[in-house]
Structure 1
Amino acid sequence: MTLWKFIKKKLHLASKVIAVIAVTMVVALIIGKAYQHWDDDPERGAVAVDNGAFGESYKTPIYLEQGWSEADSLWFYNTTQGSGLLPYDFFLVLEQVDSQALFRATSNIDKFRYLPQKPTFFNPDGLPVGFVKDTYQGHDYMGFTCAACHTGQVNYQGKAIRIDGGPSMADMVGLLTSLQKAMEATLDDPNKFERFANNVIALDNNYTDRQQVKQDLLRWNDNITLYNILNYSHVNYGYARLDAFGRIYNRVLQHVQNKSQVRDVLTLLKRPSHRQFLAKEEIDKVLDGINETIIDDEQFATIIRRLASKEPGYPALSFRDLLRVRNALFNEPNAPVSYPFLWDIPQSDFVQWNGLASNAGLGPLGRNTGEVIGVFGILDWEEKEPSFSLAAWLSGQSNKKKQVDFKSSINLTNLKRLENQLRSLQSPKWPEHIFGKLDPQQVEKGRLIYAQYCQSCHELIDRAAWDRLMVAKMSSIDLVGTDIAMASNSVNYIGNAGNFKHIYQGTDVGDVIVAQTAPVVQILTAVTTGVVATPDPDKIFLRRWLDWVYTLGMSFFDNTIKASVKAGNYQPDTTAKPYQSLLSYKARSLNGIWATAPYLHNGSVPSLYDLLLPKKQPNDPEDGKYRPDSFMVGSREFDPKKVGFKYTGYQGTEFKTFIAGNKNSGHEYAAGKTPQMDGTKLPPLTEEQRWQLIEYLKSI
């Protein structure tokens, strides 16, 4: 056989293989699209609630036209992204701490302001919106989907409206604290454990004997306890807020810093009296048997448990002292923000409250990967011997003596599919048939006020235009004047870089070298890159790589957002301060803003009307109109006049605005106190003008 014939034969064979792969992928795509529409319950799984939290009762929630069908909503609610909070069997049968009622009972779920659902095709066990079953390495877990934090509800006079992509009213901290207590009560009460074990085994799924149930309950209780300790904050988040970045940062540090770095931190830790915090012998005992490079969930839980242990040789630290250790190894997540609304996210140039994430190229996939790391993606990262791997190369570990293998439960393919689903989501229109008709004359007057006071930052877009582009306008924290905690933490929080010490990492102003103690934003960038570059370990070899290539290829080539310079008025990045532009907040289009209370990035203003008022300063007259300095959060009962939720007359979470992280100052354009982007200050709006502007804001 001649060389040319041999080459032709090989090329012919290769073309056949490529054709088969292409056909297989097309067929899989068609089947996948059809599968997404198998669950089309006309009520989208929603259920009525009688005498729920804060005395609320409502009929089965309705939906507004947002571009999604019943099947679209249900697929979004019930598609896993690879989150595993605890074993699925445990969540199904776990009892509440002080009764035999199930933890997942509608009344309990409603108390934490998650949205209860009835069983449907994709949700046969009737989990709440955004709670989902995920299977990883042969075991089933309950985890969160995007919808848990990004599906809202507005109640009005016994009616309820579900808002797809709207901000959740959820109290995640309350849920996780209560979950920990329920698991501890099950471990402590023999009768409770007997019922729990019998019910878990009766499911005939992942467990066959009580000892196996006991061991896993201990392990997962330790994991959730660890998470709650590492993320304890003196700032009470309450309802409708979460410091997601702070928690993602801590989860990354938990899996990155190595044993040597942890030892150094514990050795150098001092008490306020400058006395040594821990003796060398105590540190040795606490770290005995801990892995050198990767400290996983179980091992960090072991460290925390040993630090608090009263057995001989251990430090027996109080909770207060455990927080001292936490503060030395991690960062307090003390900057809770409102859950952002998701419509127009795929059409945005930059996302996150401080514009941290570019939406160009693979940006959405990296952003969503970081999010799943924060909401309980199972991170089976392992130390391995150096070899060429794309994940090691892209994450900067090519020349390391050891490398991190980024195996995890994170489902990259589904993350891409979920992002695609959001492209068709539209903002909700003001429902005049429920809240009352808009006044066209007031709307027009408000439109002119908006053009003068708001539009330079908050552009107008067509909510249904297929080619719409949402441009984020960034304003420096010094100029906009709102609470600085979230933006400052994103830049200033630091931690041990572990195996990523001295890697090179690109920034907009050039490459930087990651120090041993580095900004966590650098470490987060490295690990999300590594996870994105790692195919799904739960799939067979061929499908694993085909899915990975398809996901990355489509994420890049199917993305209409191109790399661009941020718009707005902010301090640019420099070689000395490569993340300075993140010390700013994003203004975005306000279509559907009526459905997204409370307001400002940290949820510190309860209604649109209050947002148009000034923050009361010490020398201001007492009889003026000002933003409330404290108010209640938790009710979904809507006020269509002021445009916000009811914030007095019930026992929800008291929002106190004098605490750092909760400040309600700034963004006082309508009050004539905050200058426009060009530096001019407009006169304060009159009372009549405020109502005109609100009428217009309802209409967009």
Structure 2
Amino acid sequence: MDKPPVLQYINTAIICTLLLASCTSPTNKPEISKEVVEQVTHSGQVPKRVWLNQGWSDKLRQDFWFTGQGSQIIPYSWFTWLEQPDSTALFRDSEHMEMLRYLPSKTSANNPSGLPIGFALHHNQQTGQAWVGMTCAACHTNQLDFNDTKILIEGAPTLANFVLFFSRLNAALEATLNDNQKFNRFAKRVLKGSKSAELIDDLREDLKHVALATAERQTVNALPAHYPEDFTSYARLDAFGNIQNAGTAFALDDLNNKNAPTAPVSYPFLWGTHQSNVVQWNASAPNVPVIGPLVRNIGEVVGVFGSLAIEEAPVWQRVWGKHARYSSTVDIQGLGQLEAWVKTLLPPAWPEQYLPGIDTNKAAQGKVLYQDNCANCHQLIDRKNVLKDYQAVTVPVRTIGTDPTMSNNASCHQAKTLFLAGTKTDILIGNKFDAIDRAIDIPVNGVVGLVLKHPIKAIEAGLVAERAGPNGKKTTAKKSIEERLKVYLKNRHDLSPDTDVDCQDGFYDAGVYKARPLNGIWATAPYLHNGSVPNLWSLLQSPELRPDTFWVGSRQFDPVHVGYITHKGMNEFNVKQGNGDVMPGNSNHGHLHGTTLSNDEKWQLVEFLKTL
């Protein structure tokens, strides 16, 4: 009898597991034993860093770095002992992870293999098997270097190259599978020296399934052939595109049902996220209390190795109106805790103990200029009020003039809905799916299905963040999860006018981008939503004077222009294609506010931005 593959995030495996589990009475269901993960020494050097006061204790910081959210990349022991594709050095080696711009970290109780910040242990809910997956901190923690000081900023956008990481991982798995010496070393470590032929054969078979799954993910999310190989590169990712494909291609089990992720954006900074009324660069997700953050976070996990399966319900269930069944590895409770911590995160203050001091006279003059040129969109929030809720300003894409690709792709990408056709887009409300419909609505449908499947866990997780914070605010579960979802979904539809009309020319006419308060903005380069401007000084130049080529990926901070140095780095960012035309997704045009000031005034404004 063939054994099922170890790869729990392959849709068929998840579905089979859940079907078997559903046949067991809850009272007789056996306890899932979690795989014991032994501590090993981290590989390579971990730099000595300093931290800023952002309202988190050392324990909370560690918990945020390594609390799993249900993401599953590969089994944890595999990631511990996997070698790099082109050498015998471990994949998790600090030098290798630093090259990818993930942050090496030491072995600890909640980081048993000394993996980089944000690479967390997750025990599969059905099997207890230990997996490694990304958590929030992988994409929202950064380090900037000045002289000999390495400053770690919690909640700051990473400089990491996710696409290169996944490409290297895929190559490492393939090399391990096809190189007998590499496989033998891998098997000896993973199996702790066991020479059992049966175990070794099982491991090789499981490795085939994992390698296939990673290759499929890489293929589905590949760029069109005419795009540069390094288009996505360091410090940005098309997260929306990955989430769309997680729903259309993987959840519906049709790998051709995809859209190319051609709109990479900078990773947003986390402070102030919980307090905003809307989230995402295109302000497409309402942040309504309890349910809004949970839906947002489940969607994020789906985009970074958290499985989502949407299976057609059996006939007898469809008679009663249930058209689909939903399953996932998402850890709803973990997400609730992570959101509660993010809610308390403070923006980083410019650290004059490590960086050159602020010129207070220039900054005072810059504040006046800010109020005249910036405050209408980027409201000023005093540091003592940064944990209070605020209403974000949204600006039409055509008005702001920045690159429209993200807005267009997020709203206008289409995909087949398959067996979901004719059912309500949001299960509880909404129009019915056409045979081909908005791609983003499919993963949203899946997220809603997961919340409805686990209503008690969902409401408990959503309430964790509402009960956290310095004001001791308490929120009770007076409303049902269905009531809260309906409010959320109605608000979401209000934010997205009729795309059937607005997307006729491929440009989302109703598209907007979110302008948020700029507290801590000094620590979040590069700028504009797509990372096309390297520093604050360049952002204040008229578009034709902004650099159209610069290096990205350096951690060396430039405190004068406020960004990272641009004359060297890990990869060259190019606004234009070889023929001189602007590369779609890379435009550095638009956002003209402050560009007509004199140079002296611009320097004053930059100095004030350091104080936020």
Please name the residue that 1:637 is paired with.
Answer: 556
In 2, the alpha carbon distance for the partners of 1:575 and 1:407 equals 29
Please name the residue that 1:399 is paired with.
Answer: 321
* Structure 1 residues 88 and 563, CA gap change in structure 2 (3 angstroms): closer
1:205-604 correspondence runs (5 A):
209-233=199-223, 234=227, 236-257=231-252, 326=256, 329-361=257-289, 362-386=291-315, 399=321, 403-465=323-385, 468-505=388-425, 511-535=430-454, 547-551=457-461, 557=475, 573-574=497-498, 577=501, 583-604=511-532
Please name the residue that 2:166 is paired with.
Answer: 176
In 1, the alpha carbon distance for the partners of 2:335 and 2:368 equals 40
* Structure 1 residues 207 and 464, CA gap change in structure 2 (3 angstroms): farther
In 1, the alpha carbon distance for the partners of 2:401 and 2:537 equals 19
Please name the residue that 1:686 is paired with.
Answer: 598
- Opposite residue 363 of structure 1, the aligned amino acid is G
Please name the residue that 2:611 is paired with.
Answer: 699
1:52-91 correspondence runs (5 A):
60-91=48-79
- Opposite residue 188 of structure 2, the aligned amino acid is N
Please name the residue that 2:547 is paired with.
Answer: 628
Q: Aligned pair 1:116/2:104, yes or no? A: yes
TM-score normalised per structure 2? 0.82
CA contact (8 A) 1:633 1:647 kept: yes
SS of 1:406 mapped into structure 2: strand
In 1, the alpha carbon distance for the partners of 2:335 and 2:448 equals 15
SS of 1:533 mapped into structure 2: helix
Higher relative contact order (CA 8 A, sep 6+): 2
* Structure 1 residues 659 and 613, CA gap change in structure 2 (3 angstroms): same
- Opposite residue 304 of structure 2, the aligned amino acid is V
- Opposite residue 599 of structure 2, the aligned amino acid is E
Residue identity over aligned pairs, in percent, reads: 36
CA contact (8 A) 1:239 1:634 kept: yes
- Opposite residue 354 of structure 1, the aligned amino acid is N
Query: Which one of the candidate residues 140, 147, 150 is aligned to 2:140?
Result: 150
CA contact (8 A) 2:251 2:308 kept: no
CA contact (8 A) 2:102 2:117 kept: yes
Deviation at 1:387, TM superposition (A): 5.8
Deviation at 1:575, TM superposition (A): 8.7
CA contact (8 A) 1:461 1:470 kept: no
Larger Rg: 1
* Structure 1 residues 528 and 581, CA gap change in structure 2 (3 angstroms): farther
In 2, the alpha carbon distance for the partners of 1:438 and 1:558 equals 45
1:6-155 correspondence runs (5 A):
60-136=48-124, 137-155=127-145
SS of 1:435 mapped into structure 2: coil
Deviation at 1:105, TM superposition (A): 0.3
Gaps of 5+ in 1: 1-44, 50-58, 258-293, 301-325, 536-544, 617-625, 672-683
Please name the residue that 1:19 is paired with.
Answer: none
Deviation at 1:188, TM superposition (A): 1.6
* 1:3-31: CA deviation from partner (whole Å, max 9, x where unpaired): xxxxxxxxxxxxxxxxxxxxxxxxxxxxx
* Structure 1 residues 469 and 552, CA gap change in structure 2 (3 angstroms): closer
Q: How many residues align?
A: 536
In 1, the alpha carbon distance for the partners of 2:333 and 2:534 equals 38
Gaps of 5+ in 2: 1-41, 467-474, 478-483, 577-581
Q: Aligned pair 1:188/2:178, yes or no? A: yes
